Amino acid sequence: MSTLTDPPTGSFRLSMLLNDTRYRSMTLQVIAAIVLATLLFYLYSNLAANLRAAGLNISFDFLGSSAGYDINQTLIEYDSQSSNLRAAVVGILNTLLVAVLACVTATVFGVIAGVLRLSNNWLVRKLMAAYVEIFRNIPVLIWIIIIFTIMTAVLPGARAYLGDDPERDMLGGVIALTNRGIYVPSPFFTSGFGGGEGSGLNWLIVLAVLAGSFFATRFITHSADAKQEATGVRPKTGLLNLAVWFVPLVVLALVLGLSWDLPDPLANRFNLRGGLQIGAPLIALWFALSIYTGAFIAENVRAGIQAVSKGQTEAASALGIRPRRVMSLVVLPQALRVIIPPLISQYLNITKNSSLAIAVGYADITATLGGITLNQTGRAIECVLLLMLFYLVISLVISAVMNVYNSSMKLKER
């Protein structure tokens, strides 16, 4: 009978790099790294030689020059005399805005549709199946164009709200629906820290208070969970969580002097003035990405729910838990372990599909840096490299954040 012994500890020989299993994997990785580095160096050298032959060079000085074009919707101050770098920042913020909005609404649509696809009601189940099959099998670009066309064709022009005798009243007296977009009241500060209305410091304070409220409610929930595990009785936290959210905001609104800038229907004969305009291109892109990706998320949710053993539902029902509470307290928390990994891919798809915004004139990073700036400056290589870097970085950030959340949802072995 043979026995396993430790490998002999003799002197090191070069042949051991391939013959000894202790070094073979490391040797192969080093060889692969050398081959990859050589290939990249060759490609870079070839690119540099071709650029020199054409009298070109890689330079990012164009980012400091004047952009020379306007952007219809911005989150920061911008005009045509701003630099190309600032135009790129505006495009980045617009991309992140539509990506965040679409991720949130697509998740809501997907969860609702995924749960209803398993409904006992035949009509509801078939309607959700039709939604999934129709929206996920038609390219998202077509949905973007359809929704944008419907908005511009069905909704009235701004002139319908103008003049002493307008053709129609604003919704609730403060919201105007036009073919250019939706006008809603815009919040601003009349006092507070750093100069009132134009101060970004006030908005930073608001964000800090919201972040504090979020972590406070998480702490309250975890404390309630711990007490329930220890005593079997869960304390009521609903009113306390609401107070944690709303009381600081009310106090902050009084301190900072929160006010509202309302849309003015009597401004001029061409457009409304005042308020916050949510442009039609943003709405079309946002809604199209949401309903399109929501159909894929619905299938992920359905698969996650069906992966949970029916015994879990039967046990919860035997304890007298209502069916809706069974879904929210028993089934969905366990289904998240199956739902989250493919959900990360859907969030990445939303971010990358937002580059189709140029089809409806929404000024995202692809339209600004990869479109107008590239055409005006002729710096195709630099613009494309910056675009690739942006999408790579934002995708890695989304993956990292979601993987952290996914790790927190895994079963913890004792």
pLDDT digits (tens, 9 = 90+) for 378-389: 888 889 999 999
Q: Span 64-185+262-409: which CATH code?
A: 1.10.3720.10
pLDDT at 353: 93
Averaged pLDDT for residues 110-130: 92
Q: How many angstroms separate the CA atoms of 219 and 409, rounded?
A: 17
pLDDT at 8: 55
pLDDT at 294: 95
User: What residues does each domain of the chain span?
Assistant: 64-185+262-409, 192-257
Q: What phi and psi, each to the nearest 5 degrees, are found at residue 11?
A: -70, 150
pLDDT at 119: 87
- Mean pLDDT over all residues of the chain? 85
- Assess contact for 67 and 51: CB atoms under 8 A: no
pLDDT at 297: 95
- Assess contact for 194 and 202: CB atoms under 8 A: yes
- What percent of the chain stands above pLDDT 90? 33
Averaged pLDDT for residues 148-159: 86
Cα–chain center distance at 224: 30
Tokens representing 15 are 């042949």
- Assess contact for 257 and 75: CB atoms under 8 A: no
Is pLDDT larger for residue 114 or for residue 200?
Answer: 114
Q: Examine the pLDDT at 20 and tell me if it is beyond 70.
A: yes
Is pLDDT larger for residue 9 or for residue 39?
Answer: 39
237: closest CA among 222, 220, 249? 220
Find residue 278's DSSP bridge partners. Answer: 182
| Sign of the Cα pseudo-torsion (154, 157, 161, 164, in order) | negative
pLDDT at 269: 60
> Tell me: the pLDDT tens digits for 94-104?
999 999 999 99
Q: Examine the pLDDT at 325 and tell me if it is beyond 90.
A: no
Residues 6+ apart with CB under 8 A from 349: 293, 296
Determine how β-strand 181-184 pairs with β-strand 276-279: antiparallel
How would residue 176 be classed by pLDDT, with cut points 50, 70 and 90? confident
How would residue 172 be classed by pLDDT, with cut points 50, 70 and 90? confident
Q: Examine the pLDDT at 257 and tell me if it is beyond 90.
A: no
- Assess contact for 306 and 313: CB atoms under 8 A: no
Q: How many angstroms separate the CA atoms of 278 and 74, rounded?
A: 10
